[in-house]
Amino acid sequence: MEQYDVFVAGGGMSGSAVARFAAEGGLKTLFIEKYKTPRTKPCSGIQFPYFEKILGVEIPPDRLCNKQITRTKMYYHDGTSFSAPFKVFNYMRKTFDDWLNILAQESGAEFRDECEFVDFEEVPDGVVVTIQSKGKAPEKIKTRYAVDATGLSALPLRRKLRPQDFGEKASGGGMNYYVDGEADIDPETLYQFWDLAFSDAMFAWIYTKTLDDGKDYWCIGTGCVAGDIRERQDLFYDFVKKKFNVQGKIVETEEFLTAIDIKSSERVWLGEGRILMVGDAAGLLDGVRGVGQDAAALSGRFAAKAILESDRKGTTALEEYAKLAKTITTQTKKNQEREIDQFRTNEELKKYLKSSLFSTGIKMMYQSFLNKFRPIEKLRLLPP
């Protein structure tokens, strides 16, 4: 049986970070991805400038979309709006995660795509994991640590350890339509629509994205905690078509369903024994901040560092991981208590958003400045 120090299920944002930093630290690492890479991932692919600090590398321009976001415009349910400068990275996850997979391999991690996590069994000094490459028989490997980095719709390791976190059926999700055509939309603006009919999770959105053919498309999407994501998406799309005079057709659809109960008070969970959770599998997608990739990459980096630290100090990786991830887990748990599905009407939501707009803007500038000097363990995720 092949032996590893670290096994990672999932080749997305968090999995690639664990693999890269573990391999850089000299740990024998295997990370696997269920789909053939580069693979698509339903996501809006927006991140703050501090993302490069989290990743520890500069993002090459050819991994970004043609248009970068420079402004945001918030719309309330009654049609009133607010606009402000807002610089964020804009990329397609297919292109971006492919780059992260390559970086991890260049650091020495072994990678297999079209390879699926099947099962695990804990043994006294580690974990025996069963994986299966497409068209091949299941195979067992032995690892000192196993990491679940499979995102919100899979979580097979977490599912086995904590079945109570999973409902009978998916409790929410997200959708994107990519639209080709003319519209009265500014391609460098991120449009946010705060309306409980479109989304009870955060805002519904419009951005410009570059697809595989190198051309730009309108990306129109939404997410929800409860209800049918397709109904909400179609309601929003009809609204956008009229409001922005969209003359075009949908060329691609992305859909994402959540397997875990994201309203559970124990959603943020870092693992047990030698099995660690990272990214969305650790419950770190934050509906209040409206993003999750920063926490995913950061938690992946922390998990790798925790294993290295525990080897050095003779402590457990889980306790080191909990210490390193304290700032982000505390922030995510606190935000979970103020998600927007607490509002019964759009008027209440608007009042709340308007009252916090000014202070959020100030905090955003202040914390962005401080983040430049903070070590990654102390980074305050944005918006604060």
Where on the chain is the footprint of ligand FAD (CB under 6 A)? 9-15, 32-35, 39, 41-47, 116-117, 149-151, 154, 156, 174, 176, 221, 223, 256, 279-281, 285, 291-294, 296
> Closer to ligand FAD at the Cβ: 65 or 196?
65
Identify whether the C-beta of residue 6 lies closer than 8 Å to the C-beta of residue 144: yes
> Closer to ligand FAD at the Cβ: 79 or 233?
233
> Closer to ligand FAD at the Cβ: 311 or 327?
327
Instruction: For the CB of residue 179, give the shortest distance to ligand FAD in the complex, in Å.
Output: 15
Instruction: For the CB of residue 207, give the shortest distance to ligand FAD in the complex, in Å.
Output: 8
Instruction: For the CB of residue 5, give the shortest distance to ligand FAD in the complex, in Å.
Output: 19
> Closer to ligand FAD at the Cβ: 218 or 313?
218
Of 199, 176, 12, 172, give the one whose Cα is nearest residue 99. 12
Q: What backbone phi and psi angles, to 5 degrees, belong to 52? A: -65, -35
Of 354, 324, 349, give the one whose Cα is nearest residue 339. 349
Give the Cα-Cα-Cα angle 29, 31, 35 (nearest 5 degrees): 165
Instruction: For the CB of residue 101, give the shortest distance to ligand FAD in the complex, in Å.
Output: 10
- Helix/strand number for the chain, H first, E second: 9, 16
Instruction: For the CB of residue 154, give the shortest distance to ligand FAD in the complex, in Å.
Output: 3
d(CA 140, CA 133): 11
> Closer to ligand FAD at the Cβ: 32 or 179?
32
> Closer to ligand FAD at the Cβ: 9 or 276?
9
> Closer to ligand FAD at the Cβ: 25 or 151?
151
Q: DSSP labels for 10-71?
A: --SHHHHHHHHHHHHTT--EEEE-SSPSS-------EE-TTHHHHHTSPPPGGGS-SS-EEE
d(CA 313, CA 293): 30
Instruction: For the CB of residue 217, give the shortest distance to ligand FAD in the complex, in Å.
Output: 15
Instruction: For the CB of residue 205, give the shortest distance to ligand FAD in the complex, in Å.
Output: 8
Per-residue burial over 18-41, b if 16 or more Cβ lie within 10 Å, else e, is bbbbbbbbebbbbbbbbeebbbeb
d(CA 60, CA 65): 11
Residue 279 bridge partners (DSSP): none
d(CA 348, CA 183): 31
> Closer to ligand FAD at the Cβ: 197 or 311?
197
Helix boundaries (H) for the chain:
13-24, 51-55, 93-106, 156-161, 229-243, 293-313, 317-324, 326-336, 346-371
Please enumerate in sequence order all residues whose Cβ is within 8 A of that of 125, keeping only pairs 6 or more positions apart, or say none. Answer: 144
> Closer to ligand FAD at the Cβ: 116 or 320?
116
